[in-house]
Amino acid sequence: MVHHKRTFLIFTAGLALSAGMLWADDATNPTAVAATTPTAQATVASKPAKADSPTVAAMKAAIALADAGKTDEAIAAFEKIGVLKSKKSEAWRLNDEGLAYLEAPTPVPDKAVAVLEKAVATDANNYVAWNNLGSAYEQNDQLMKAKDAYQKSIDMAKAADASSAKAEGNLANLQPKLDKMTTTDDADKTAASTDSKAAADTSAPAAGSTPAAAADQSK
């Protein structure tokens, strides 16, 4: 239901971090694609690996803690990074923090909802965060909100020319729950209507209970 492959996106020349969850078929490795010939491979191998920026290193460490099931430590690590200047980067940080709550040994969907709502408020185009928010809503039994979040993920993914398969699958799996909820609501409304009618019939005045009827009976 949630996205399980993390990757890092570079949005600016200054290597601003955008760490977050992506669909596996969306993640590409330009270096691997380019290194298809022995010459290209040798060129890539000869280049020294660039050290991570402090922010990238901190995000990787927080993600590693989340993956190890150390949720409290992971959340603390995400929070310690602080608010990132780039809205896209900040949305990814919040997405991964919310995901840590969702993937915890004991998931905490209500806290995930709070963080992921901030993520999509920060960057409404982040279709991954929208999908994860839908999962959080669904786990929190907020089914109509889950439906809307999944649909938003689908719309944003298509706008970005990306795959919307994950959210579409989640929305399809959610539909039986929505149908059951509608059936239950209709049954409750029918029962309530029947109860109201019965109550009205019970409260109707009995024959001879009005002053005129009482006078007639006294004759």
Is 15 in contact with 24 (CB distance < 8 Å)?
A: no
Domain boundaries, the chain: 5-24+53-181
Q: Which CATH superfamily hosts domain 5-24+53-181? A: Tetratricopeptide repeat domain (1.25.40.10)
Spatial distance between the Cα atoms of 41 and 59, rounded to a whole number of angstroms: 29
Global pTM value: 0.68
**Residue 182 pLDDT:** 82
Q: Which residues contact 98 (CB under 8 A, 6 or more apart)?
A: 111, 112, 113, 115, 116, 119, 129, 132, 133, 136
**Residue 29 pLDDT:** 35
Q: Is the Cα torsion angle 51, 122, 76, 66 positive or negative in sign?
A: negative
DSSP 142-189: -HHHHHHHHHHHHHHHHHTT---HHHHHHHHHHHHHHHHHHHHHHHHH
List the chain pLDDT tens, one digit each, 219 residues. Answer: 666 445 443 333 233 344 444 333 333 333 333 444 444 445 545 666 688 899 999 999 999 999 999 999 999 999 999 999 999 999 999 999 999 999 999 999 999 999 999 999 999 999 999 999 999 999 999 999 999 999 999 999 999 999 999 999 999 999 999 999 988 766 666 666 666 666 656 665 555 554 554 445 444
End-to-end CA distance of the chain: 79
